[in-house]
C-alpha cells in the first residue's frame, strides 16, 4: 500500500498539470472561431480530402490549396476520428472572408482580427458539419497532452536527481500561450512536437543505458512516425546518430561497427514506415522532400541572397513562438516578449555558475543539438520562404529548450521545488492573460456597454437593421497624419442575410472626402448576419488622417451602413422621417502643420529633392474644369538627372482623369522652388473625390522613389488633396 501511495504522490502533480492543460485547451478550442489560426482551413481541407476522396492530395492539382505538401500522419488520425460526423464539406471548402481583416495587424487590440465570417452553426452543438472540424481540433489537444507527458519523461531522464525540474519543464510547455493555442487548432505542428520529443527521449535513453534490440526498434519506429508527421523532423537523424555514438564510443574496437549496425537498424525501420512517402514525392515532384514543388507554388526563392530576410524575420519568429495568434495579427504587448527574452537569457546564463552537481554529459548535448538543429533548419526556411519565420516550426525542439531553461534557472535558485512552482505560476498566469486578456476580446462578440453610454445621445434608426444610441468624435482638433476615434453605440434590430458594412466618412468644408474607414460592425466581430437583436455594443473606429490632408480645414464626420451592390440604408429620426443616408456624429478642426509652406510636409525623393508643401485651388470643381496645383520643392543636393514632374488626378484603380506632366521648375541646390501646374479634368470624369499623385521621373520612364529617413524606398509617388469633382 505504501508503494502505491508513493506512486500516486509522484503522479498526482503530472495528472494535475495534464488536467489543467486539457481544460484550458478545450475552452480555447470552443472560444476561438474555426479557421482563424494560421493555415487551419488548409489543414482542414487536407483532412476532408482523405475523408471524401480516400486518397492523398497532390500538390498543384487541388482546386483550392491545402497543406498537401505535409506527410499524412496527423491528417489521417483526424480523418479517422471525424469520418463518422455527417459533413458536406468538400476538399474545396471555403469560409466567407472578412474583407477588412488585419487592419493595423501589428498592433495589440481588437480591430478586425477575424479573417472569416462566422455563423451560429459553428457554435455548440456545431451544426452543418462543423463538428468534423472540431474533432480535428480535439485530436490535436490529445496530441498536445502527449507532448507534455513526453516532456515530463524527458525531464526525468535529464534531471534524475531533481524530479521537480521535470514537472517544471512540462508546465513551461503546457502553459506557453502559443502551444495551448495551436493545440486547440487543426495543424500538424503539435504532432511534430510530440514526435520530436519522443525521438529525443528514446535517444537519451540509448545514450544513458546503451544499445539493445528493444531500444533500437523503439527508436527506429519513433523516427519513422516522426518523418510521417512533418518533413523537417529529418533533423532528428543527427540527434539519433549522436546518441548512438555516445552509447558506443567506449566499446573499444567494435564501437564503429556497433554504431553502424545500430544506425542501420534505426534507419531501416524508419524507411519501412515512412519510405513510401519519400518515394511518392520522388515520383510526383522529382525530389523526395517535395520542397521544390512547395517553393514553386508558394513563392519560394534562392537562399543565398536573402540574409536580410533572416535578420528581419527573427523578431516575428520569437514572438510567434510564445504567443501571436490568428495569422499573426493578434500580438501580445512587447513587454511580454521582452520579459520572456530576459527570462530565457537569465536561465541559460545559469549554466555558467559553478555548482557541485555534475551535468549529465550524455543527455544535455542531445538537448542542445536538438535546439540548434531546428534553429538552423528554420533559419534556412526563412531564407527560402516568405512564410518562414513561424515560431511553431521550432515546436519539435521546444520541450528540449524547456528542459534546458528550467535547469539553468534552478542553478540560480538552488531550490528545484521553488523553481517548479515559480515557473508553473508564471507561465500559467501568462497563459490566462494572453488567451483571455488578448485573444478572447479580439475574437468574441462585443460586450454589452455600461451606463452611461459614451458620446452624445442619438436616436437614429438605420433602415430596419440597427439603431444608433450614441456617438462621438475625438479629439476635437487634429493635425495631418494623426488619428481620429469615432465612437458609436449600436443596438441591433435584426440579423441580415448578407453583411452590411459600416462606413465612416470625413468630409471637409469643400465637400471633399478627406478620409474614410469601412468595416463590419463590432470591428469585424459582430457582422450583421450574426447580430444579437436588442443587445447593444460599442464600436471605436480609428480613422487615419493622411499626412497630406489639406489644412487648416473643418471636417464633418458621417457614419452609416450600406450593403455592397444595394446602397446605403436610410436614416430615420425619432419622428419617423427619413433624414438622409448617414448620421453626422461630430466635427473636427484640422490644424495646419507648423512650417513656412502651405500644408507643410517632407516627402524625400531619393535624398535629392523633397516636396515640402503644396496648395490646391479650388478644391471642388465640375468635370472638365481646371484647378491649380502649387508645389514647393526643396533641392537637397545636386540632382543626378534632369528630373521632370508628374501631377495626375487618379481614382482608386489608378486611372488618370487629369494631368500636367512636364519639366521641373529648375533644380537649384539649397533652394526651395515654386512649381505651379494647372490641371484640367476630363469632361467624362465621374463625380467623386480624387487624390493628386505627384512624383519625379526621368528619361526611360524611371521614377525617383520616395525614401524613409533610413533610406528604405517607400513608394514612387505622394498622394495630395484630394479634389472633389461634382456632377452638373
Summarize pLDDT for 7-40 with one digit per residue, the tens.
655 668 899 999 999 999 999 999 999 999 999 9
Contact 394, 344 (CB under 8 A): no
Residue in this structure with the C-alpha cell 450574426, named with its chain if needed: 530
The model's confidence at residue 1, banded by pLDDT at 50, 70 and 90, is: very low
First CA to last CA distance, the chain: 97
Neighbouring CB atoms inside 10 A of 15's CB total 10
Contact 594, 600 (CB under 8 A): yes
CA distance 473 to 487: 6
CA distance 324 to 37: 10
Across the beta sheet with 483-492, what order do the strands follow? 537-544, 483-492, 466-474, 456-462, 571-572, 578-580
Instruction: Tell me what the mean pLDDT of segment 481-498 comes to.
Output: 95
List the Cα angle 135/294/319 in 5-degree steps: 65
Taking only the tens place, the pLDDT of each residue in 107-141 is 999 999 999 999 989 988 999 999 999 999 999 99
Taking only the tens place, the pLDDT of each residue in 713-725 is 889 999 998 999 9
pLDDT at 252 over 70: no
Residue in this structure with the C-alpha cell 524547456, named with its chain if needed: 402
Contact 570, 463 (CB under 8 A): yes
Residue 8 pLDDT: 52
CA distance 153 to 394: 20
Residue 668 pLDDT: 86
Taking only the tens place, the pLDDT of each residue in 533-578 is 999 999 999 999 988 888 899 999 999 999 998 899 999 988 888 9
SS3 content of the chain, % helix, strand, coil (to 5): 45, 20, 35
Q: What is the largest CA-CA distance in the chain?
A: 100
CA distance 693 to 521: 32
Instruction: Kindly report the average pLDDT of the chain as a whole number.
Output: 92
The CATH class that applies to domain 603-726 reads mainly beta
Neighbouring CB atoms inside 10 A of 163's CB total 17
Q: How many helices (H) and strands (E) does the chain have?
A: 17, 27
Distance of CA 270 to the CA centre of its chain: 35
Residue 249 pLDDT: 82
pLDDT at 390 over 60: yes
Q: From the CA atom positions of the chain, what is the Rg in Å?
A: 31
Closest CA to 691 of 657, 643, 665, 644: 657
What superfamily does domain 456-590 belong to in CATH? abc- transporter (atp binding component) like domain (2.70.50.60)
Residue 547 pLDDT: 86
- N residues, the chain: 728
pLDDT at 404 over 80: yes
CA distance 521 to 114: 12
Q: What percent of the chain has pLDDT over 70?
A: 97
Instruction: Tell me what the mean pLDDT of segment 515-520 comes to.
Output: 95
pLDDT at 609 over 90: yes
Contact 722, 692 (CB under 8 A): yes
Neighbouring CB atoms inside 10 A of 242's CB total 18
3 state SS of 590: strand
The H or E element containing residue 275 is helix 255-285
Taking only the tens place, the pLDDT of each residue in 442-471 is 999 999 998 899 999 999 999 999 999 999
Domain extent listing, the chain? 23-286+299-441, 456-590, 603-726
CA distance 585 to 363: 66
Taking only the tens place, the pLDDT of each residue in 328-373 is 999 999 999 999 999 999 999 999 988 755 667 789 999 999 999 9
Instruction: Tell me what the mean pLDDT of segment 67-95 comes to.
Output: 95
Query: Could you tell me which residues come within 8 angstroms of residue 135 by beta carbon, excluding any fewer than 6 positions away?
Result: 78, 81, 82, 85
List b or e across 269-289, with b for residues whose CB sees 16 or more CB atoms inside 10 angstroms. Answer: bbbebbeebbeebeeebeebb
Residue 161 pLDDT: 82
Amino acid at each position: 500500500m505504501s508503494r502505491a501511495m508513493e506512486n500516486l504522490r509522484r503522479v498526482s502533480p503530472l495528472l494535475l498539470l495534464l488536467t489543467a492543460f486539457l481544460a484550458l485547451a478545450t475552452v480555447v478550442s470552443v472560444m476561438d472561431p474555426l479557421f482563424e489560426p494560421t493555415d487551419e482551413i488548409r489543414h482542414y481541407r487536407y483532412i476532408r480530402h482523405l475523408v471524401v476522396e480516400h486518397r492523398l492530395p497532390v500538390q498543384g492539382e487541388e482546386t483550392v490549396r491545402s497543406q498537401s505538401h505535409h506527410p499524412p500522419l496527423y491528417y489521417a488520425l483526424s480523418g479517422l476520428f471525424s469520418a463518422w460526423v455527417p459533413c458536406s464539406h468538400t476538399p474545396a471548402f471555403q469560409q466567407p472572408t472578412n474583407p477588412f481583416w488585419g487592419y493595423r495587424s501589428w498592433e495589440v487590440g481588437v480591430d478586425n482580427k477575424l479573417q472569416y465570417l462566422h455563423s451560429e452553426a459553428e457554435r455548440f452543438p456545431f451544426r452543418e458539419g462543423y463538428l468534423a472540424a472540431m474533432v480535428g481540433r480535439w485530436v490535436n489537444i490529445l496530441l498536445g497532452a502527449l507532448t507534455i507527458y513526453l516532456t515530463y519523461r524527458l525531464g526525468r531522464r535529464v534531471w534524475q536527481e531533481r524530479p521537480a525540474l521535470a514537472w517544471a519543464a512540462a508546465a513551461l510547455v503546457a502553459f506557453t500561450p502559443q502551444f495551448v493555442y495551436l493545440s486547440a487548432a487543426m495543424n500538424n505542428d503539435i504532432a511534430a512536437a510530440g514526435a520530436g520529443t519522443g525521438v529525443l527521449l528514446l535517444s537519451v535513453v540509448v545514450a544513458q543505458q546503451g544499445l539493445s534490440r528493444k531500444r533500437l526498434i523503439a527508436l527506429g519506429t519513433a523516427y519513422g512516425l516522426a518523418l510521417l508527421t512533418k518533413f523537417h523532423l529529418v533533423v532528428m537523424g543527427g540527434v539519433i546518430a549522436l546518441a548512438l555514438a555516445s552509447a558506443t564510443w567506449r566499446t573499444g574496437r567494435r564501437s564503429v561497427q556497433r554504431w553502424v549496425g545500430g544506425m542501420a537498424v534505426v534507419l531501416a525501420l524508419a524507411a519501412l514506415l515512412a519510405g513510401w512517402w519519400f518515394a511518392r514525392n520522388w515520383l510526383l515532384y522529382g525530389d523526395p522532400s517535395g520542397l521544390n514543388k512547395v517553393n514553386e507554388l508558394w513563392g519560394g526563392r534562392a537562399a543565398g541572397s536573402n540574409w536580410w530576410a533572416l535578420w528581419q524575420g527573427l523578431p516575428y519568429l520569437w514572438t510567434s513562438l510564445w504567443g501571436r495568434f490568428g495569422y499573426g495579427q493578434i500580438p501580445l504587448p512587447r513587454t511580454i516578449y521582452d520579459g520572456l527574452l530576459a527570462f530565457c537569457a537569465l536561465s541559460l546564463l545559469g549554466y555558467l555558475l559553478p555548482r557541485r552537481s555534475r551535468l549529465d554529459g550524455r543527455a544535455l548535448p542531445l538537448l542542445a543539438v536538438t535546439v540548434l538543429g531546428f534553429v538552423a533548419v528554420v533559419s534556412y526556411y526563412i531564407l527560402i520562404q516568405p512564410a518562414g519565420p513561424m515560431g511553431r516550426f521550432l515546436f519539435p525542439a521546444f520541450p528540449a529548450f524547456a528542459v534546458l531553461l528550467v535547469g539553468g534557472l534552478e542553478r540560480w535558485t538552488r531550490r528545484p521545488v521553488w523553481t517548479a512552482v515559480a515557473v508553473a505560476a508564471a507561465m500559467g498566469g501568462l497563459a490566462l492573460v494572453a488567451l483571455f486578456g488578448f485573444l478572447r476580446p479580439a475574437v468574441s462578440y462585443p460586450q454589452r456597454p455600461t451606463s452611461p453610454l459614451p458620446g452624445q445621445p442619438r436616436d437614429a434608426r438605420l433602415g430596419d437593421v440597427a439603431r444608433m444610441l450614441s456617438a462621438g468624435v475625438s479629439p476635437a482638433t487634429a493635425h495631418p497624419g494623426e488619428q481620429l476615434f469615432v465612437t458609436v453605440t449600436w443596438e441591433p434590430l435584426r440579423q441580415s442575410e448578407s453583411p452590411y458594412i459600416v462606413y465612416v466618412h470625413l468630409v471637409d468644408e469643400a465637400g471633399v472626402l478627406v478620409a474614410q474607414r469601412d468595416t463590419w460592425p463590432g470591428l469585424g466581430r459582430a457582422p450583421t448576419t450574426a447580430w444579437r437583436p436588442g443587445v447593444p455594443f460599442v464600436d471605436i473606429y480609428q480613422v487615419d488622417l493622411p499626412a497630406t490632408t489639406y489644412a487648416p480645414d473643418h471636417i464633418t464626420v458621417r457614419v452609416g451602413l450600406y450593403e455592397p451592390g444595394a446602397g446605403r440604408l436610410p436614416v430615420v429620426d425619432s419622428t419617423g422621417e427619413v433624414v438622409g443616408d448617414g448620421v453626422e456624429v461630430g466635427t473636427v478642426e484640422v490644424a495646419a502643420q507648423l512650417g513656412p509652406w502651405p500644408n507643410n510636409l517632407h516627402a524625400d525623393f531619393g535624398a535629392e529633392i523633397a516636396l515640402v508643401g503644396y496648395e490646391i485651388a479650388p478644391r471642388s470643381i465640375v468635370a472638365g474644369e481646371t484647378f491649380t496645383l502649387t508645389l514647393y520643392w526643396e533641392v537637397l543636393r545636386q540632382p543626378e538627372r534632369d528630373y521632370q514632374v508628374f501631377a495626375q488626378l487618379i481614382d482608386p484603380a489608378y486611372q488618370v482623369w487629369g494631368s500636367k506632366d512636364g519639366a521641373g521648375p529648375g533644380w537649384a541646390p539649397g533652394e526651395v522652388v515654386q512649381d505651379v501646374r494647372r490641371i484640367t479634368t476630363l469632361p467624362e470624369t465621374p463625380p467623386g473625390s480624387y487624390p493628386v499623385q505627384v512624383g519625379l521621373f526621368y528619361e526611360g520612364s524611371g521614377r525617383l522613389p520616395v525614401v524613409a529617413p533610413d533610406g528604405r524606398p517607400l513608394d514612387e509617388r505622394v498622394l495630395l488633396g484630394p479634389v472633389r469633382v461634382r456632377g452638373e
